[in-house]
A and B are shown apart, each in its own frame.
Chain A
Amino acid sequence: MNALTQGDVTTRPLSGGAKSQRWIVASNIATLGAGVAGVVLGLEGLVGHGFAFLASGVVPPFGLSIRTTDLGSFFVILISLVATCVALYNFGYAKSGHLSAISLAIFPIFVATLEIIPLTASIPSFLFFWELMAIESICLVLDHYQRERAQHAALLYAAVTQLGFFSILGFFALVASRSHGLNFLTLQNAVASLSPGQRNLAFVLALVGFGSKAGLVPLHAWLPKAHPEAPAPASALMSTAMVSLGIFGLIKFVVVLMAGGPTWWGMLLLGIGAISSIYGVIESSVSSDLKVLLAYSTTENMGLATLALGTSLVMTSTHHPNLAWAAAVATVFILGSHAMFKGLAFLAAGTVGLETGTTDLNALGGLTRRMRFTSGAFGIAALSASGLPLGAAFIGEWILLQSLIHLGPANGLVALAAPLTIGAIALTSGIGLLTMVKAFGIGFLGKARSDLGEGLEERFGVMQFAMSLLVVANLAIALLPTAFGSVVKRVAWATPLHSLHGSGQGQLGQLTVYGLTGSIFPLASAVLFTLAVLATATVIKLRKRSRPSDADVDLWACGARDLNSAMQYNASSFAEPLERVFADVIRPKRDVEIITFEESRLLISRVELRSTPHDSIESALYLRVWAIASYGGRLARLAHNGSLNRYLAFGAAGLLVVLAVLH
């Protein structure tokens, strides 16, 4: 009652009072429990015996149907690993009062929902939890619901996610139309009897439905709006676990359930993946908010995963089983590494936001001295995300490239698509590099660009511990990808594209792809690199006596004195050259206003440059759809003017039409 009279639950500081402390601890323990349980269940499904059951009381009237598959278990492990780290992180994050009571209540349920979805085995169970996930995530976006931007973001997200839901609903209606049961196993047999037209329609519906969840262009616009509003741990979960489930849906229902299709399916996936990755990375590179940047980067990575999936489908339909398999492995690696580095990046961004009160790159800087652990963690995440060797994302991209270069003589569309695909990957990784250097270099290095307050030096607490777990995961993928070989093999096998056994086995850490020549050895390079750094440093140290002693001096900065922090390059200026190059894609909005003195118009008193970030696809497409929809709404409004007589007439007319049709 107290909360109601105050009118607002979320503004109530949760940090005070023993009761709220208990509430926080209870919520986090529940989330942690869900996370750990998920890891156990996933492992049981993947390396144990697996399990299947029907709990008739849970989703009435059909019951909750659960069955482990290799693919599903893999996603459960992926989700629950991130969830475990997020739960640990929340012990520190929630203490600061940055999580509302509602978010705290939702967290454990959200994690449980995410973990159940990949295991569901029937349409009603899947849809129930899919929709539950959407509602919970909308609530998380509305953590600060009194903010207008949060309301706008949640509305947009709700609209997109409901569009996706209806699309998935349509997909299931179509697929189940010839089936006698709603179980996925019975469905699989019925799919074969669909006509090609129906199958194609079903594929498009699935693509729209799951693509919207994965944040693929053009249904991506909710991502960069929702993430800055949701609390960082929620962003971490949504941007890794939830979007991955979009790709999971595509694999599960397009590749497994419908067993692939004609070449153009793969081509369409490939095209959408390529456009998403390029558009995502370009928008990401010009964003100046850390969380928006990471959100666009999610679109980029999901685009890459879709591209890999599309490659896999194309290779299947053109009878290249080895290459299809390699691309499937690449998909799994891309999803796995993305979950790890993006989760880490969002948690680090959350710590920055907590400590400095902002995630605006144009206000940040100089955090390496103050926040050593968080800076290091974000550095690792950025290295992983940049697609450089010794980073986690490189592995998936490399395997995908291997799949493409081994294509050999091809003809027709495939021979044209393969180079363009490589071009898309290359452009994405090039700009991705700039984006990640910008995120880390501008956000954490140099000098603070605004007054970020006096903070104590960061200590290694539970939040830092949670991040270090993800750091270890990132390094493990990057340096010892072969350790995940057997897991990935089973998961990629679960996409029934081929019937190959085993992956190439080399020395410890030497990565080869079965049936393809070429290998990389990340661990050896890392060791060599470390040795080279240490050797150089030692030589230099030994020669110390041969040079004058070091001097502490002011920056030279080309003779500039009174250098202030606003004179540094910032996020906008860093990406400006690239923004010029891609001006046709992003269409930057700029106003320059020159204000002159009253006395003379030749004397300028002030120049104002305003640059408004915006999403060109959003403004081109969404606003048009919005305009059409509201026009339709206005037309419809003419029909219902409140007169009862008219409504009765409508009813009568409708009845007559129905009768006429049925007759």
Chain B
Amino acid sequence: MSYLALLIQLSFVGLGSPALIGMMAWIKNRLEGRRGASVAQPWREIRKLFSKQIMNPKHTGAFFSIGPLLFFASTAVVAAMIPLITTELPLHASFDLFWVVGFLLIGTIALSLAGLDTGTSFGGMGSSRELTVVALLEPSILMAIYALSIRANSSNIFAIANATALHPARIASPASALAFAALVIVVIAEAGRLPVDNPATHLELTMIHEAMVLEYSGYRLALVKWAAAVRLLLLLGLISNLFLPVGLATTNGIGAMAIGLVLVAAKIALLGSLLAIAEVFMAKLRLFRVPELLGGSFVLGLLAVTISYYLPAATR
């Protein structure tokens, strides 16, 4: 039964993630007074790319061709390790938050190496910038995880979600709020959204993620785009279930899973909409201002941790 749950979750993530991107683009378009493309547009694009020609540039190494594959596969593995619909997934006792976040970084690293392997200045530039962001992001991630782990006394995702479910008062605690704010900044930076990176830009001066994938065509580009969408969905799903595990099924009953599916989709859609709305009001930060933002996220995480230590257990 847990394998059926896993299958449902993987299908939800795989099929839902382009729709999430499409929905966010649609909201932004509507706020800008546009008609907006259909929510299914990212889907069409990915499907189209799978049947396009593959261009193998000369003088690129093996990492160039397997980079997207590793990026996609690592994302798929993470998709099987995060409880979105039900807690009864196979091997759930070993789904450690540190491990999951680290695994996401494996994909980032694979793509950065692929960027370097092209031997172009753009690939190297994107890779260097991405790694700088990641290097400064990691402290915030770990700090936020730490803040959540202290009160659950474990860094296991299920333990954290359960601890929140058992003590609903904690949802609104100051530590929660601070850790949430820190994690939101992390999600924005990790998913390459405004104001850290602009997924719609191809300007040399500003692009981070896009610079690494300039040379890709066909299914390689499709894998990268799809995996990027999945990562955004997973990160949003992760924070919604860590901070508000409402509806997260604890059994494998069909009814419970259906409720879980609907609720998690609603939570992700809500978070995605808020993100899209916020993006309308934001401009991209200068690259060298991004560390300040990430530093701010780190301080929020640190405050969350310190509060967790000093406040009495009931209110943590």
Q: Tell whether A and B belong to one assembly.
A: yes
Q: Which residues of A contact B (CB under 8 A)?
A: 285, 365-366, 368-369, 386-390, 394, 398, 401-402, 404-411, 415-416, 418-419, 422-423, 425-427, 429-431, 433-434, 437-438, 440-442, 445-447, 506, 510, 516-521, 524-525, 528-529, 532-533, 536-537, 540, 543, 546-558, 560, 563, 565, 567-570, 573-578, 580-581
By the criterion CB–CB under 8 Å, are B132 and A366 in contact? no
Q: B108-135 toward A: CB 8 Å interface, digit per residue (1/0)?
A: 0100110011111111110111011011
Tell me whether B76 is interfacial, beta carbon within 8 Å.
Answer: yes
Select B309's contact among A415, A438, A558, beta carbons within 8 Å: A415
In the assembled complex, the Cα of A570 lies from the Cα of B116 at a distance in Å of 10
CB distance from A408 to the nearest CB of B (A): 7
What mask results when residues 55 to 86 of chain B are scored 1 for a CB within 8 Å of chain A, else 0?
Answer: 11111111100100110111011001100000
Does residue B12 face the partner (Cβ distance < 8 Å to A)?
no
Taking a contact as CB atoms closer than 8 A, the residue among A407, A529, A536, A555 that contacts B119 in the complex is A555
Residues in B whose Cβ lies below 8 Å from that of A547: 50-54, 218-219
Q: Which 10 A-B pairs have the closest CB atoms?
A: A569-B124, A430-B138, A521-B94, A426-B142, A532-B73, A441-B116, A426-B139, A415-B309, A447-B119, A446-B119
| Of the residues B76, B122, B223, contact of A558 by C-beta under 8 Å | B122
Which A residues lie within 8 Å of B53 (CB)?
547-551
Task: Report chain B residues within 8 Å CB of A521.
Answer: 91, 94
Known: A408-B150, A445-B63. A426 touches B143 (CB 8 A): yes
Are B116 and A445 in contact, CB atoms less than 8 angstroms apart?
A: yes
A440-B63 Cα distance, complex, nearest whole Å: 11
Q: Could you list 25 examples of A-B contacts with CB < 8 Å? A: A368-B62, A368-B63, A398-B98, A401-B146, A405-B155, A430-B136, A433-B109, A434-B132, A446-B116, A518-B156, A519-B93, A519-B156, A529-B73, A532-B74, A549-B53, A551-B54, A553-B55, A555-B119, A555-B120, A557-B122, A563-B119, A567-B120, A568-B116, A569-B116, A581-B291
User: Does B131 lie within 8 Å of A434, measured CB to CB?
Assistant: yes
Are A581 and B58 within 8 A (Cβ)? no
Q: Mark B34-54, 1 if CB is under 8 A from A, else 0.
A: 000000000000000011111
Chain B nearest CB: distance from A41 CB in Å? 37
Chain B interface, number of residues (Cβ within 8 angstroms): 86
Using A446-B119, A517-B159, A557-B120 as known contacts, list a sample of 14 further A-B pairs with CB atoms less than 8 Å apart, ordered by residue number in A: A369-B61, A401-B98, A405-B150, A405-B155, A423-B142, A430-B138, A433-B105, A524-B91, A529-B77, A536-B72, A547-B53, A555-B57, A569-B127, A574-B124
The CB with the most chain B CB atoms within 10 A, among A418, A533, A567, is that of A533
Contact A540 B143 (CB under 8 A): no
A443 (CB) vs chain B CBs: closest residue: B116
**Complex-state Cα separation, A166 to B194, whole angstroms:** 57
Whether a CB of chain A sits under 8 angstroms from the CB of B99 is yes
Are B76's CB and A433's CB within 8 A?
A: no
Contacting pair B119 A418 (CB below 8 A): no
**B174 adjacent to chain A (CB < 8 Å):** no
Most buried by A among B117, B120, B156: B120
Interface flag for B234 (CB, 8 Å): no
| Nearest Cβ on chain A to B166's Cβ, whole angstroms | 15
Contact yes or no, B112 A529, CB < 8 A: no
Please indicate the chain B residues that have their CB under 8 angstroms from the CB of A402 in the complex. 155
A556 / chain B contacts, CB cutoff of 8 Å: 57, 214-215
Instruction: Return chain B residues, CB-CB under 8 Å to A369.
Output: 61
Given A540-B219, A567-B121, A555 contacting B60 (CB threshold 8 A): yes
Interface centre among B116, B219, B223 (most CB of A within 10 A): B116
The DSSP consensus for interface residues of chain B is helix
B88 CB → nearest A CB, Å: 16
Please, what's the 1-or-0 string for B129-172, where 1 marks a CB less than 8 Å from any CB in chain A?
10110111111111100100110011110010000000000000
Closest chain A residue to B146, Cβ basis:
A422
Measured CA separation A67–B248 after assembly (Å) = 58
Q: Is the CB of B54 within 8 A of A394?
A: no
Contact A430 B119 (CB under 8 A): no
- Count chain B CB atoms within 10 A of each CB in A368, A525, A560, A570 and give the residue with the most: A525
> How many Å from the CB of B176 to the closest CB on chain A?
16
Task: Kindly provide the distance from the CB of B167 to the nearest chain A CB, expressed in whole angstroms.
Answer: 15
A residues in contact with B127, CB < 8 Å:
437, 441, 569, 574
Q: How far is the CA of A519 from the CA of B94 in the complex (A)?
A: 5
Q: With an 8 A cutoff between CB atoms, is B306 at the interface?
A: yes
Known: A422-B142, A569-B121. A386 touches B109 (CB 8 A): yes
Q: A394-B102, A547-B54, A558-B214 are in contact. Are A565 and B73 (CB under 8 A)?
A: no
Q: How far is the CA of A410 from the CA of B94 in the complex (A)?
A: 27
B214 contacts A552, CB within 8 Å? no
Given contacts A402-B155, A415-B310, A569-B116, contact A366 B61 (CB under 8 A): yes
Q: Which of B203-225 contact A (CB under 8 A)?
A: 204, 214-215, 218-219, 223
Give Cα A532 to B99, complex, Å. 17
Minimal Cβ-Cβ distance residue in B for A285 = B135
What B residues does A546 contact at CB under 8 A?
50-51
Known A-B contacts A434-B132, A532-B73; the reply to A441 vs B138 at CB < 8 A is no
B279: Cβ under 8 A from any A Cβ: no
Shortest CB-to-CB span from A81 to chain B, Å, is: 26
B63 near A568 with CB under 8 A, answer no
Please state if A401 and B218 are interface contacts (CB–CB under 8 Å): no
Determine whether the beta carbon of A565 is less than 8 Å from that of B119. Answer: yes
A427 touches B139 (CB 8 A): yes
From the candidates A405, A430, A518, A525, name the one contacting B135 in the complex (CB within 8 A).
Answer: A430
- Decide: A423 and B120 in contact? CB cutoff 8 A: no
B302 within 8 A of A: yes
Q: Is the pair A568, B121 in contact by a Cβ cutoff of 8 Å? A: yes
Bound form: Cα–Cα A549–B52 in Å = 9
Cβ 8 A contact of B288, one of A398, A518, A577: A577
Which residues of B lie under 8 Å from residue A519 when comparing CB positions?
93-94, 96, 156
B275 in contact (CB, < 8 A): no
Complex interface: chain B residues within 8 A of A411 (CB):
309
Query: Which residues of the other chain, B, contact A404 by a CB distance below 8 angstroms?
Result: 146
Contacts of A537 in B (CB 8 A): 69
Contact residues in B for A581 (Cβ distance below 8 Å): 132, 136, 288, 291
CA A425 – CA B141 in complex, angstroms?
Answer: 12
Given known A-B contacts A368-B61, A555-B59, A567-B121, A388 and B105 have beta carbons under 8 A apart: yes
